Amino acid sequence: MASAWKGGKVVSPLDGGWLPVAPSAVPFNPADAPPLALDAAGIQKVISDFKHAARRALKAGFKVIELHAAHGYLLHQFLSPLSNKRTDEYGGSFDNRIRLLLDVISAVQTEWPENLPIFVRISATDWVDGGWNADESVQLAVILKTKGVDLIDVSTGGLALGVKIPLGPGYQAPFAARIRRETGMRTGAVGLITTAAQSEELVANGTADLIFIARELLRDPYFPLHAAGELGVDVPWPVQYERAKPR
C-alpha cells in the first residue's frame, strides 16, 4: 500500500499498512520490501473477491462495471512478464498470463446480468522492452470479444518505474484506434483528453466508441454540461441548477 502524495512508498504493517500481494515477489520500487507471491489459494480468493464485488455492485444499483487490469494493479501484474515470473499455469506464456483476467471475468459474469455492460481497462503497453505490448493487447482484445466483454478502456503504463512516456494531447488514443480497427472490439480512449472538440473528433473519426475523462473532471466537475453547450447539445441540468442554465 502506497500513498502517492506522501512519497509513494509502501506503508508497512507497523504504520497501519499491509503486505501487498502480487503474481511474484517483485517490488514496484526496488527499495521496497517484496510483495507476497500469491499461491493457488490466494489466487482463488482474488477470483472470489471479484465475484462478490460484482454482486455488491449490482445490489447497489450500478449499471456498468469495469475490471481494472491496467496501471500496475494486480490483474495487470499478471499480464506483464515484467512482474509475472511464475512457472505455473498463471505465468510464462501469453495464455497463462491472461488466465487470471479470464477467470475473473467468468466469475463476475456469474453475478452480473448479461444485459448490463462489462468493461475491461488495460494498459496497452508497459512502454518497456520485454513488457506487455500493443501486439499482446490486440491479441487479448480478440479473446475478450469472445468472452462477452463489451468494451476495452485503453490506457498505458503504470507498471514500471522510470519509464519515458511521450505525453501529449490524446497520446494513448492510437492504441484504442488500433484495437478497434484490428479486432472490431469497442474501445474507450483516455489520456490528456481535455476539450469537447477533441473528444468529439476522436469518436467521429473512429478512434474510439467512448471517451474517458479524469483529470479534466477534477479541474471542472461540470465539464459534461459545458461540453454539451460548446457542442450545441441540449441536455437536462440538475433541477437545482436549472436557473443557471445558459439560454
* Residue 210 φ/ψ, nearest 5 degrees: -135, 155
DSSP 101: H
Q: Kindly tell me the burial class for residue 240, based on how many C-beta atoms sit within 10 Å of its own C-beta (0-12, 13-18, 19 or more).
A: exposed
With contact defined as beta carbons under 8 Å apart, do 190 and 214 qualify?
Answer: yes
The C-alpha cell at 182 is 484490428
233: CB partners within 8 A, 6+ apart: none
C-alpha 161/C-alpha 1 separation (Å) is 16
**Torsion sign (Cα): 59, 65, 67, 68:** negative
Set 73, 90, 222, 241: catalytic member: 73
Residue/partner pairs of 40-46 with CB below 8 Å, 24 or more apart: 40/88, 43/90, 43/100, 46/21, 46/74, 46/100, 46/104
Radius of gyration of the chain (CA): 20
211: CB partners within 8 A, 6+ apart: 188, 189, 190, 193, 199, 202, 203
Please say if 73 is a catalytic residue.
yes
Give the three-class secondary structure for 42: helix
Active site residues: 73
